A and B are shown apart, each in its own frame.
Chain A
Amino acid sequence: MLTNTTILGQIVVNGLNLSAVYILVALGFTLLFGIMRVVNFAHGEFAMLGGFAFYYLYAVLHVPWLLAVVLGAVAVAGPSLILEWLVFRWFYHKMFQSMIGLLGLSLVMTYTSLLVWDVFERNVPSAFDSILRFQGVIIPMDRLVTIGVSLAALGAFYFLMVHTKIGLAMRAAAQDVEIALTQGIDARKIYRWSFFVAVFLAALAGALYGQIYAVSPFMGERPLFVAFIVVILGGMGSIPGAALGGIILGFTESLLGTLYGGSVASYASFGIVILLLIFRPWGLLGTRE
């Protein structure tokens, strides 16, 4: 079956699509761990809020698709800075407390959303109905756009990290926060920026998730799960690791899902993660602790 170029092409496109969204979710997660040493159990909930923001902007207010996605993400990331001030800053550099405390935050966010909106899933109308045919491979346009948006976001993130002063400061803080402070870097500013970027990426991913699946208060579980697996694969705190992990997970799921069905893909990802945790818990590109 693998020799059939159509199926192969399909697997590649799906793999790219999944990888792109997974990397978006995982990047924010690993950024928060790498710089502030918090395990953000509420990461999925920020994705969920991004999904709801996108839904309201696009499906209800009929804002153009691309603007809805980006504006939605900003609309979630901005006010989330209040949450950063209220909740997150008490947990910086305290890994265990952050795990349980942010788990509490995820409960608060999920069930408050449940009170505000009801439990019924909302479907986002498809923005792009057209299909691209390339050498016999069928590429739905919305997949292509998802890949495009994700790549653009990742490109912007890369530019931020490598070519701006604030990105340099963030990388320095991720490597060694104390030395970074002695170099005059304002820790609070870096933390707030990192938080904003992380939540922006999560909310963006949530909007893309919402497009593919449906938007509901409980939709955050899957992105969180994915983020965990990708970050374990790549190494917690490692940004290239998140990219590598996302690609591996995305393509593995696409390959196994197409050839053997969804449940095999799930078992396989579980198995890989368990093996990795036993033999190489710091991931492929992480630092041994």
Chain B
Amino acid sequence: MTVKTLDSTGVTMSGASPKPKRATIVAVLLAAALLAWPFVANERFVFHIAINVCLAAIAAASLHLIIRTGHVSLCHAAFIGIGAYTSAYVVMQLGLPFIAGLALGTFAAALLALLIGPVILRLTGKYFVLITFLFGEIVRMVFVDWQAVTGGANGITDIPAPAPIFAEPRNFYWLTLLAAALCIGFCGRLLQSELGRTIDSIREDEQLAECSGVPVIRIKVMIFVIACGLAGFVGSLQAHYTHYISPQAYSPIESLNYVIMNVIGGMNTLVGPLIGALFLVLTPEFLRGYVQVQQILFGLILIIVMAFLPGGIADLRSALRTLLGPKRRDAER
């Protein structure tokens, strides 16, 4: 029997052309579906949901970067807010175009992350969660108190769309789809690279990584800055979509939503937060009018996932296998 060996690109040593991998086919089909469905279902509400899913996905994926380093941040929404307020201010008060707002929003969030990162990233586990919670609360209070710039508790209204063509939800959907593809693709690429493996090593054993020569705090700060910059990016996009922002949307409780997306979807892979974002945006829509039931359901899912499914929904298959595995072996005897 001849043994066919495959090198890393899946090319057989015999030199035959590679069959397209199943994953690639699925990816192409998915991309085609995501691009084409707006032509079929031309409903404003569906576009609204889709845009929210895309925006939430970018936010959850950027938070995922921080979680991969082993830190759970409860101030992510605060950085989204910084991007939003900066972008709104730049476009409305300074008269600059949307691209400037987007860039400056991203930059402002990243800059703040750079300032506080080295201080708070030295804390571990529960202390990091607490200090990010407090920081998020402080940022929210600043949004409320700094009335001259942020409009206080009333927020900022009439934020213009990025360009007149994007006032149409369908076109804005394609814009957010493009943004999501770029950002999430960037995150994916980052996690698969050497840097990604370094991040995983930091999460698994910080001291061992340090001993192996990894500049732990520098990498953590770098990832934190990138992730918060992406959060600012989302904030800016979101502001110019909803045309209205207020401090309430950027509280630590909102940050918790992004953490929940990661937890329920799965914290170990990038697919997790995407599943989580889809789940967390769609579920309230199905339970409209039953807010209490919705929250109770969320709570129950959180308990069950945390107790029995630490890898999240993304890990469902292997979790089921572990549950059912040994029994199957017994049955075979």
Q: Using CB atoms and an 8 Å cutoff, list the residues of chain A in contact with chain B.
A: 39, 87, 90-91, 95-112, 114-115, 228, 232, 236, 270, 273-274, 277-278, 281, 289
Contacts and interface: CB of A to CB of B under 8 A. Distances in A.
B302 A104 contact: yes
B263 A107 contact: no
A39 B133 CA distance: 15
Interface in B269-325: 291-293, 295-296, 298-303, 306-308, 310
Contact of A101 (B126, B138, B256, B307): B307
Contacts of B308: 90
Contacts of A232: 130
B296 A270 contact: no
B191 interface: no
Contact of A107 (B135, B302, B307): B302
14 contacts: A90-B307, A95-B125, A99-B126, A100-B306, A101-B302, A104-B300, A104-B302, A107-B296, A109-B299, A115-B292, A270-B137, A273-B130, A277-B131, A278-B119
A191 to B, nearest CB: 16
Given A95-B125, A95-B126, A236-B126, A104 B306 contact: yes
A108 B303 contact: yes
Contacts of B115: none
Contacts of A99: 126, 129
Contacts of A107: 295-296, 298-299, 302
B131 A103 contact: no
> Which interface class (under 10, 10 to 19, 20 to 34, 35 or more) fits B?
20 to 34
B134 to A, nearest CB: 6
B123 A281 contact: yes
Contacts of B125: 95-96
A102 B305 CA distance: 11
B233 to A, nearest CB: 26
Report which residue of B256, B260, B299 has the largest number of chain A beta carbons within 10 angstroms of its beta carbon: B299
A59 B310 CA distance: 44
B259 interface: yes
Nearest to B137: A270
Q: Is the interface of A mostly helix, strand, loop or mixed?
A: helix
Contact of A104 (B120, B123, B129, B301): B301
Given A101-B306, A274-B131, A108 B126 contact: no
A114 B292 contact: yes
Contacts of B130: 228, 232, 273, 277
B292 A100 contact: no
A100 B307 contact: no
Given A115-B292, A278-B131, A103 B302 contact: yes
B214 to A, nearest CB: 22
A1 B260 CA distance: 49
A9 to B, nearest CB: 33
Contacts of B119: 278
Contacts of A91: 306-307
A117 to B, nearest CB: 11
A151 B193 CA distance: 59
Contact of A111 (B126, B127, B292): B292
A111 B299 contact: yes
A44 B253 CA distance: 16
A270 B130 CA distance: 11
Report which residue of A104, A110, A236, A277 has the largest number of chain B beta carbons within 10 angstroms of its beta carbon: A104
Interface string B46-83: 00000000000000000000000000100000000000
A87 B306 CA distance: 10
Given A91-B307, A108-B296, A96 B256 contact: no
A49 to B, nearest CB: 15
A114 B72 CA distance: 29
A56 B158 CA distance: 48
A192 B125 CA distance: 26
Contacts of B295: 107-108, 110-111
Given A90-B307, A96-B72, A108 B299 contact: yes
A100 B299 contact: no
Nearest to B292: A111
Nearest to A282: B127
Contact of B306 (A97, A236, A281): A97
A87 B256 CA distance: 21
Q: Which 4 A-B pairs have the closest CB atoms?
A: A104-B302, A107-B299, A101-B306, A108-B299
Contacts of A111: 291-293, 295-296, 299
A236 B138 CA distance: 23
B299 A105 contact: yes
B222 to A, nearest CB: 20
A31 to B, nearest CB: 16
B298 A104 contact: yes
Interface string B243-270: 0000000000000100110010000000
A7 B326 CA distance: 71
B196 to A, nearest CB: 21
A96 B31 CA distance: 36
Given A273-B134, A278-B131, A39 B126 contact: yes
A233 to B, nearest CB: 12
A277 B116 CA distance: 13
Interface in B192-229: none
A87 B307 CA distance: 8
Given A95-B126, A277-B127, A104 B299 contact: yes
A112 B296 contact: yes
Contacts of A281: 123, 127
A277 B302 CA distance: 27
Contacts of A110: 295
Contacts of A95: 125-126
